[in-house]
């Protein structure tokens, strides 16, 4: 038969083992969450890169700017895309690179 001290020691060892399992699980959960966040970030980055498109508008379709009037290039581009491709583009989606 086990003594009271031995029983107490066994119970303490059991709970220490359970706490180790819990600690290992928490570490695993934390590492898994970090991996998931990194994977989501990489996925979004790849998704963004695959949707970047450039459109060069040139030629006779581009209206000539009047000499004494400043033109709103973004507005001109949005109107030309709508007229030429029947696609609406928001002004916030247009980057002006000269």
> How far apart, in whole angstroms, are the C-alpha atoms of residue 65 and residue 96?
16
Write down how long the chain is.
98
Tens digit of pLDDT for each residue in 62-90?
667 666 667 777 888 888 888 888 888 88
> How far apart, in whole angstroms, are the C-alpha atoms of residue 81 and residue 87?
6
User: DSSP states of 55-76 as a string?
Assistant: ----STTSPPPPTTS---HHHH
Pick the residue with more confidence: 56 or 98? Answer: 56
Give the pTM. 0.39
Domain boundaries, the chain: 1-52, 54-98
pLDDT at residue 16 greater than cutoff 70? yes
Pick the residue with more confidence: 58 or 46? Answer: 46
> How far apart, in whole angstroms, are the C-alpha atoms of residue 82 and residue 73?
14
Tens digit of pLDDT for each residue in 24-55?
889 999 999 999 999 999 888 887 776 666 66
Q: Which token pair is 24?
A: 């290992």
């Amino acid at each position: 038969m086990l003594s009271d001290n031995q029983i107490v020691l066994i119970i303490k060892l059991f709970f220490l083992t359970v706490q180790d399992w819990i600690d290992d699980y928490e570490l695993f959960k934390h590492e898994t969450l970090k991996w998931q966040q990194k994977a989501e970030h990489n996925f979004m980055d790849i998704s963004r890169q695959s949707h970047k498109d450039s459109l060069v508008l040139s030629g006779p379709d581009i209206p000539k700017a009047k000499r004494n009037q400043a033109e709103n290039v973004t507005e001109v581009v949005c109107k030309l895309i709508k007229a030429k491709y029947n696609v609406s583009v928001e002004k916030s989606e247009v980057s002006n690179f000269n």
